[in-house]
Amino acid sequence: MNRIGLLGIEKLVEIERPFGNVVLLPTIDVTLDIPQNEIETEDYARLLENVNIAIDDVMTQKITSIENFCASILRRIVSCGDIKRAEVKLEAEYAVYRKTPVSSLDTQEMYNILARAILDKGEIKKMVGAEVLGITACPCAQEGLLEYTKEVLENRVGKSDAHELLKELPIATHNQRNASRLLIEVPEKYDIEVEELIKILEGVMSSRLYEVLKREDEVDVVLNAHQNPNFVEDVVRKILVEVSQKYVHLPPESTVFVKSESFESIHQHNAVAIRISTLRELRDEVSAESL
Amino acid sequence: MNRIGLLGIEKLVEIERPFGNVVLLPTIDVTLDIPQNEIETEDYARLLENVNIAIDDVMTQKITSIENFCASILRRIVSCGDIKRAEVKLEAEYAVYRKTPVSSLDTQEMYNILARAILDKGEIKKMVGAEVLGITACPCAQEGLLEYTKEVLENRVGKSDAHELLKELPIATHNQRNASRLLIEVPEKYDIEVEELIKILEGVMSSRLYEVLKREDEVDVVLNAHQNPNFVEDVVRKILVEVSQKYVHLPPESTVFVKSESFESIHQHNAVAIRISTLRELRDEVSAESL
Amino acid sequence: MNRIGLLGIEKLVEIERPFGNVVLLPTIDVTLDIPQNEIETEDYARLLENVNIAIDDVMTQKITSIENFCASILRRIVSCGDIKRAEVKLEAEYAVYRKTPVSSLDTQEMYNILARAILDKGEIKKMVGAEVLGITACPCAQEGLLEYTKEVLENRVGKSDAHELLKELPIATHNQRNASRLLIEVPEKYDIEVEELIKILEGVMSSRLYEVLKREDEVDVVLNAHQNPNFVEDVVRKILVEVSQKYVHLPPESTVFVKSESFESIHQHNAVAIRISTLRELRDEVSAESL
Amino acid sequence: MNRIGLLGIEKLVEIERPFGNVVLLPTIDVTLDIPQNEIETEDYARLLENVNIAIDDVMTQKITSIENFCASILRRIVSCGDIKRAEVKLEAEYAVYRKTPVSSLDTQEMYNILARAILDKGEIKKMVGAEVLGITACPCAQEGLLEYTKEVLENRVGKSDAHELLKELPIATHNQRNASRLLIEVPEKYDIEVEELIKILEGVMSSRLYEVLKREDEVDVVLNAHQNPNFVEDVVRKILVEVSQKYVHLPPESTVFVKSESFESIHQHNAVAIRISTLRELRDEVSAESL
């Protein structure tokens, strides 16, 4: 593999969405696979010069989604020369409006959205994705504290009341910020709404985050997180179940990439889980489990 | 103020400590205040060339502490020219050996240690400090969950048992990684052990972190953190109380800088508290409170 | 000084400018100075809760500039309690359209724009600024290579032709990316266009950067940079001369902050120059020099 | 692929080298591939707990190289359970002593060294590498400035003298910091000296960097860089030629990874070249070219 490219190109682009225009400030990376030992330094320079011209060119046209923007840049670049493989990668912040869970205040939340377009063996593959921050509450420490709590309760109020109380009481555990990321391959003509991916990611965390929380919201978020503990691997698995159920119309060979990283509150290091599968594999697993 | 300098100089240095030599890989920043419009570009270049030569020179000598290393570099630099104010700043990772709280496993923990030497009006001031990662458990959300827990308990087992149980049960709350930093000014001839500063910082957190934790340790850390909730401002205040009680022999005009930043698990943004005082102010406050 | 705050709040905001609306994705830091030992943890929590509500509130109103946005947030926050000092700080990427120097291609360039609003002793101060990446070519190494080039020329073509050639030939030197930053204090009622600050910063660099450059542009940029060598301290001084000449209508006590940092191509570390002055000082210096 | 792991573990380790002990502060990432849907959350927790215990355990033993340290951790981890694939990755700063090129001053330079150990299908693969900062001077802009310089010279001193002068004069161009990285796969029993890799990387850059440079050194470095212009792709190609000639005793199926990234002084974005090959491919190419 012999690859050259430009990393960290920043642009302001306007995406025309059905519900209105969205302004983004993406960072774009472009790489090209070139035959080795056959072209001159000057040609490399021209190839890379073309990358910038291609981006500026595509930006003057109508853009309907981040993945189509990537695909248009890719097509424009590969039209300039004999390139076997090329990739355009984009990451941007994306603001979504929410309501706080109890007080129903309006709040604007920020997510990362991701897209890729890859030319490989004459075909263009698109990927679309999102990265979301949320809370993970640790199930393992919670089990330990459940035992501790059970003992305290049984000693004072007996087994029966203790048993009932444990169903209702939030059990303490360590919890922390987590960043989870989902990328799905889509056929060239097809679009996935990034808002859907953001909803999947937020839905499986122990709790979503909010930029503003009144006291009553904060209690609700913490209760929620403790009723829904998740190890990073649990987050990944739940995302995959959602994806396999929601995207039934996508081709089975579509790749799904999921990563969940917790900034552990009890360690200086992070815990991570990563899964790369095809939709076919996910569908097989889910149906095997539901038997 | 007219300042030039070099940022991000990385060196491997060996510190000779009473208990054995310590190898550090500090990052060093050096800045010089120079009169404006009086010196030529060439002179600036020579001043900065001298900074690197000074560091290399001091590194060949015996180094007894990070703050003395900074002070030696400073003295060496200002001996080369008519410099009114100059500052040498250093930050390095520092490994300390600990035992896990319950299983007593050996564990090596990593901290940041900090030093500064400042020449101002003919005098050299030294500062020595540390930055430690720990857990903060939020007292505010915990109060909300205490009310919730109280209601659940009272409904099932009555006021009296509920009252007793609340004394023993860990009350859930959100908790997160926190970075807290303490820097103390010391007279030129005086040394502070960074290990002492690390202990102060770890002692006031909701709980310290460990790189390795067996299940029984993890439960202990989480219980501990929940019995000791801290808003960032609480961490800062507790550090200052410790400092004012421990460093009674330091001059009252010594500056103390404290900062605590929590990577909030319920928000995307961080909470921070900062306090800059003299030891005199801290001593006055502490004695006023203890009346 | 006893300060609490929130760091890293990210928002999407729309600024209504005379020439059209501008969408920004700023990162906002808010800090509040509070009396020590007089308020409860719960009050801190409420103070910080108010910060987020204040930002969301101001975002629903018309915003005319980044510094006025900061000032509105500040006013809204301090109206909630007895706060003696507070600061709102903002940084955002900002896209500007340019033409390449020779080929006149359209290119979109990205800059950082900065604003602050500070409440101190009952008064609000605003600061507005920009940070720009450019090239600095080192004058010191260039002088060395000038001597070398002179010798080579004199040996072959004699003193007279060598003398003439040295006026025309670009003399090689090391050059690198540089980040320069300018912040100016402005009275509450007054606005500075960030585009003006960007122009000042770009104008004094050895050369500005471009995201797209055809071959002929690249030669022009390199020639230009070599005819205009700058040590970081030169960049700072030239910015200050421009500021003192352009902003004659600003009050003399206005603070001007300038910083220039070069990512040295011959070292692993960076060179930096920083200057903090009032406009009065700058005007005095400039007039002294022009005598 | 279903992977869990710990990222960002920091340790202080002492490596026993033939020429003396070396202290490093590596950052370590460990990942394990686990069968999906077959193990419980508790088992994940225990697997990850074992990772930390394994590292602490290996640190009490004699360590002879960074890649053997990674391999020992790997062996210790996979001995605890039925793990099909696992990877230990390490990155550390490494100080090397040099002399400046003309003034022969002693200088300490800092590099990154890299190691990996991968268990795959029952076999352990080791990789060892380094990352070095250096200067790249752009050949493409230099060609443009050569034409310009030629015209200036010919106009004044005629074709013949111009022709001779162009052989001797340094031709200006943009130049910048570059980070280049090389990783080579080695059989389990074999060790590569990271110092050798650092020398290869430094040798192919337009010039190496120095933390201290007297005026005469600076001129030499700049001259050197301009006589040896390199596009990122040239740096990669030259590294590969060196590797294929030096490591003749390594098995032909060994993987070689090379990446070179220039922090372009004329753009805000970076240029990158990446190459992944086997030694067999490299040997074939080099012998084809030398025909």
Give the closest residue to B63 by CA, choosing from B30, B96, B26.
Answer: B26
CB B183 within 8 A of CB B259: no
Cross-chain CB nearest to B53 (options D45, D110, D212): D212
Cross-chain CB nearest to B139 (options C3, C41, C272): C41
Give the closest residue to D281 by CA, choosing from A2, C286, A152.
Answer: A2
What is the residue type of C64?
Answer: T
pLDDT of residue B37 exceeding 70: no
Average pLDDT rounded to a whole number, residues B135-154: 96
Which residue of chain B is at minimal alpha-carbon distance from C236? Answer: B2
Read off the pLDDT of residues C74-96 as tens digits, 9 standing for 90 and up: 999 988 777 889 999 999 999 99
Average pLDDT rounded to a whole number, residues A117-144: 95
- The mean-pLDDT minimum among A190-194, C29-33, C273-277 falls in A190-194
Task: Read off the pTM.
Answer: 0.94
Report residue A290's pLDDT band, with 50, 70 and 90 as the boundaries. Answer: low
Cross-chain CB nearest to D108 (options B11, B105, B108): B11
Read off the pLDDT of residues A150-161 as tens digits, 9 standing for 90 and up: 999 999 999 999
Report residue B38's pLDDT band, with 50, 70 and 90 as the boundaries. Answer: low
Percent of chain D exceeding pLDDT 70 equals 97
Please provide residue D169's backbone torsions phi and psi, each rounded to the nearest 5 degrees.
Answer: -80, 140
Q: Give contacts of B161 with chain A, Cβ < 8 Å.
A: 156-157
- Element housing A234 (H / E): helix A232-246
Whole-angstrom distance, CA of residue D176 vs CA of residue D230:
11
Query: Hey, which residues 175-234 in chain C have their CB within 8 Å of chain D?
Result: 175-177, 207, 209-211, 213, 215-216, 218-219, 221-223, 225-226
- Mean pLDDT (chain B) is 93
pLDDT of residue C37 exceeding 70: no
SS3 call for B266: coil
Cβ distance of B25 and D93 shorter than 8 Å = yes
Whole-angstrom distance, CA of residue D145 vs CA of residue C220:
9
Neighbours of C (≥3 Cβ pairs closer than 8 A)?
A, B, D
In which residue are the tokens 């004329």 written? D266
Domains for chain C: give ranges and CATH numbers. Answer: 3-138+174-290 (3.10.270.10), 139-173 (no CATH)
Q: Give contacts of A8 with chain D, Cβ < 8 Å.
A: 268-270
Q: Give contacts of A217 with chain B, Cβ < 8 Å.
A: none
Is ipTM over 0.90? yes
Cross-chain CB nearest to B10 (options D23, D59, D93): D93
Give the closest residue to A133 by CA, choosing from A222, A235, A257, A220.
Answer: A235
State whether residue A277 sits within 8 Å of chain D by CB.
Answer: yes
Which residue of chain B is at minimal alpha-carbon distance from D106? Answer: B56
Cβ distance of D222 and C140 shorter than 8 Å = no
Q: Give contacts of B5 with chain C, Cβ < 8 Å.
A: 271-274
Report residue A143's pLDDT band, with 50, 70 and 90 as the boundaries. Answer: very high
Could you tell me which residues are beta bridge partners of residue A67?
Answer: none
pLDDT of residue B57 exceeding 60: yes
pLDDT value of position D214 = 92
Give the closest residue to C167 by CA, choosing from D168, D166, D227, D155.
Answer: D155
pLDDT value of position D28 = 98
CA distances from residue C34 to B167, B272, C52, D228, D234 in whole angstroms, order as listed: 32, 13, 18, 59, 58
Q: Give contacts of C110 with chain A, Cβ < 8 Å.
A: 10-12, 25
Read off the pLDDT of residues C232-244 as tens digits, 9 standing for 90 and up: 999 999 999 999 9
Query: Dihedral of CA A224/A228/A230/A234: which sign?
Result: negative
pLDDT value of position D189 = 81
Cβ distance of B170 and A149 shorter than 8 Å = yes
CB D135 within 8 A of CB C266: yes
Whole-angstrom distance, CA of residue D86 vs CA of residue D77:
9
Cβ distance of A226 and B168 shorter than 8 Å = no
Average pLDDT rounded to a whole number, residues D86-103: 96
Read off the pLDDT of residues B161-206 as tens digits, 9 standing for 90 and up: 999 999 999 999 999 999 999 999 998 888 899 999 999 999 999 9
Which residue of chain A is at minimal alpha-carbon distance from D231? Answer: A41
| Residue of B7, B9, B12 to mutate when probing chain D, most D C-beta within 10 A | B12
Segments of D122-269 assigned E as strands: 123-137, 175-186, 207-208, 255-262
Whole-angstrom distance, CA of residue C290 vs CA of residue B46:
27
Whole-angstrom distance, CA of residue D176 vs CA of residue D136:
6
The Cβ of residue D188 has, within 10 Å, a number of other Cβ atoms equal to 12
Read off the pLDDT of residues D167-195 as tens digits, 9 standing for 90 and up: 999 999 999 999 999 999 998 888 899 99
- What's the token pair of residue C91? 């940084």
pLDDT value of position B96 = 94
Percent of chain A exceeding pLDDT 90 equals 83
pLDDT value of position A39 = 67
Give the closest residue to D218 by CA, choosing from B54, C265, B73.
Answer: C265
pLDDT value of position C290 = 65
Cβ distance of D145 and C109 shorter than 8 Å = no
Q: Calculate the CA B22 to chain-centre distance.
A: 19
CB A94 within 8 A of CB A194: yes
Report residue A265's pLDDT band, with 50, 70 and 90 as the boundaries. Answer: very high
Please list, in sequence order, all residues whose beta carbon lies within 8 angstroms of the beta carbon of residue C173, skipping any fewer than 6 positions away. Answer: C137, C138, C139, C141, C142, C145, C226, C229, D172, D222
pLDDT value of position A227 = 96
Average pLDDT rounded to a whole number, residues D85-113: 96
Whole-angstrom distance, CA of residue C89 vs CA of residue A210:
21
pLDDT value of position C89 = 98
Cβ distance of B49 and D215 shorter than 8 Å = yes
